[in-house]
A and B are shown apart, each in its own frame.
Chain A
């Protein structure tokens, strides 16, 4: 193994890892506040990519306008999803909410197939993102350098929002105890809606970045990344934003590095995430950075 190959793989791993991290943050925020696995998150991710695609092609917007519009639409969609599919079930047993999430995911995917068509679409090329840069012996797609920077910026911004603003305080309060937060005159619905908005916004951004990296869109493109990013969030300790980023990176690095160094395991690539998940759950069920929660009787 040459050093240049190693660095080449490392850049690939970092960019994939930061993409996973971006999407995992959305899972972790929603879970943190509602204790709900938002199975539809991967489909929101898919919608983000399609919104950007249609804005850029059918509406012929410049790419950056298209991206902003798409991200905004995705955030609104996420809030609407919470309103329609999750809010009516807030006091229901956990299994009902989870099934509603699964149903919503099904519905979005199938509407996607009907509206967008089952055939994959390819995103028009944007020079800023798909030029190949040569950094010494390593050659990378420019988008691969943008993604880690975006993820880092978002991590800093979110940590500031959650820990440094009044809205963040409300989010943490709702996450700790929803009813007590309501008694403290926190607008619980607004806080949850906002959390969904931010989570979906990040999913939309993740979807767009994903299509910059792998420029193929299809209505089921969110399923696998969705599952893997959820796993990333669990590995890092679900409910914990830096944990989600850590988990995303870990997963990205592991996937790329194992395939690079042990090519005979390539066929098992999709299983790595699940194996890692199970190992982490068994060794430290609360995740790497998660806090242990005692069961209250």
Chain B
């Protein structure tokens, strides 16, 4: 009976969510819809980084690089030859690339695949490193990717970036991809692959002794994560409709890392909640940059104040609640209902 109740609740929850998204898409203004969609993209990105950081214990700071690869591949593959000619006014684009044009879903897959391919190339050397060294090496690779993109004029249009990318990232597209990512991650984490990943995270040596091929597990996780990062980057490009190499700096990686940490390292629910909270908060705090007029205090606009408050929030979470909002727990109905029943609420809390 209990299982049935939870399935019903999940279905009801999903229906409610779909309804809410449909209602939001139909009634909210363009600006709010944009924030809504950005949250979905950040969900994909946060999940992909969480797979590395939270589930496999690989500290990678190279996400922006893979996003850049995905964004560029998808943008170039979906543009018509005429659009490409308009963009590449300094130096013409490579002829064979000029004439390729793929439908958006294929381009999105290609974006992920290319990012995954780059991850294979990077992963073979980098994944031999541990901890901080891995973080620094991946950071280095991301910067190298960015410099290469800036300089490959006939392939990426260099520092000018690409403009007028078709806006394929509608509410339904991004939320479908986000939902798919959540389902995929849940399935992955509960599968035997997921278990070996957690084993590697918790104790590499012990995992190896139990017969886990550590390098293979690490590279699988790295490639999957990069695939998702590539898809996320592509969606971002198709939402903002302009991309350039300056977008994909370390700051972008930090933003995603922030979501993962705030939500809870190693919690899928946490990444989802974190992505939405951070994206909405970033926009909600925008008023701080504007001139303010309280009862007695008047301030002129202080550009950057928003980011100050934001960094302080981050520091508070890191210092006082290191496990983030969810810790490494996941949402489940028993735990959720347990909150409303006074007795044993804490012991019935969700487990991962």
Partners in one complex: yes
Q: How large is the interface on B (under 10, 10 to 19, 20 to 34, 35 or more residues)?
A: 35 or more
Main secondary structure of the interface of B (DSSP, over half): helix
Q: Is the pair A110, B308 in contact by a Cβ cutoff of 8 Å?
A: yes
Determine the chain A residues whose CB is within 8 A of the CB of B315 once the complex forms: 85, 100, 103-104, 107
Determine the chain B residues whose CB is within 8 A of the CB of A278 once the complex forms: 125-126, 137, 140-141, 144
Residue of A nearest to B143 (CB): A274
Determine the chain A residues whose CB is within 8 A of the CB of B140 once the complex forms: 231, 273-275, 277-278
Tell me, yes or no, whether A297 is within 8 Å of chain B by CB: yes
Q: A229 vs B319: C-alpha distance in the bound complex, in angstroms?
A: 27
Q: Is the pair B318, A110 in contact by a Cβ cutoff of 8 Å?
A: no
Tell me, yes or no, whether B303 is within 8 Å of chain A by CB: yes
Q: A230 vs B147: C-alpha distance in the bound complex, in angstroms?
A: 19
Interface string of A95-108 (1 = CB under 8 A from B): 11011101110110
Q: Is the pair A277, B136 in contact by a Cβ cutoff of 8 Å?
A: yes
Partner of B312, one of A94, A95, A107: A107
Determine the chain A residues whose CB is within 8 A of the CB of B205 once the complex forms: 295, 297
Partner of A114, one of B59, B308, B310: B308
Partner of A234, one of B126, B136, B143: B136
Main secondary structure of the interface of A (DSSP, over half): helix
Q: A281 vs B311: C-alpha distance in the bound complex, in angstroms?
A: 32
Q: A114 vs B126: C-alpha distance in the bound complex, in angstroms?
A: 38
Smallest CB–CB gap between A277 and chain B, Å? 5
Determine the chain A residues whose CB is within 8 A of the CB of B126 once the complex forms: 278
Q: A98 vs B135: C-alpha distance in the bound complex, in angstroms?
A: 10
Q: Is the pair A37, B257 in contact by a Cβ cutoff of 8 Å?
A: no
Q: Is the pair B302, A114 in contact by a Cβ cutoff of 8 Å?
A: yes
Partner of A118, one of B53, B151, B303: B303
Q: Is the pair B254, A270 in contact by a Cβ cutoff of 8 Å?
A: no
Q: A104 vs B143: C-alpha distance in the bound complex, in angstroms?
A: 21
Smallest CB–CB gap between B324 and chain A, Å? 10
Q: Is the pair B128, A282 in contact by a Cβ cutoff of 8 Å?
A: yes
Q: Is the pair A100, B141 in contact by a Cβ cutoff of 8 Å?
A: no
Determine the chain B residues whose CB is within 8 A of the CB of A270 once the complex forms: 143, 147
Q: Is the pair A103, B303 in contact by a Cβ cutoff of 8 Å?
A: no
Determine the chain A residues whose CB is within 8 A of the CB of B139 once the complex forms: 227, 274
B294-341, CB < 8 A from A: 302-305, 307-308, 310-312, 314-315, 318-319, 322
Q: With A85-B315, A110-B308 given, is the CB distance from A271 to B144 under 8 Å?
A: yes
Interface string of B226-258 (1 = CB under 8 A from A): 000000000000000000000000100010011
Determine the chain A residues whose CB is within 8 A of the CB of B136 once the complex forms: 37, 230-231, 234, 277, 281
Can you list 14 A-B contacts (CB < 8 A)?
A89-B319, A95-B53, A99-B318, A100-B319, A102-B254, A104-B315, A106-B310, A110-B310, A110-B311, A114-B305, A234-B133, A268-B151, A274-B139, A295-B205
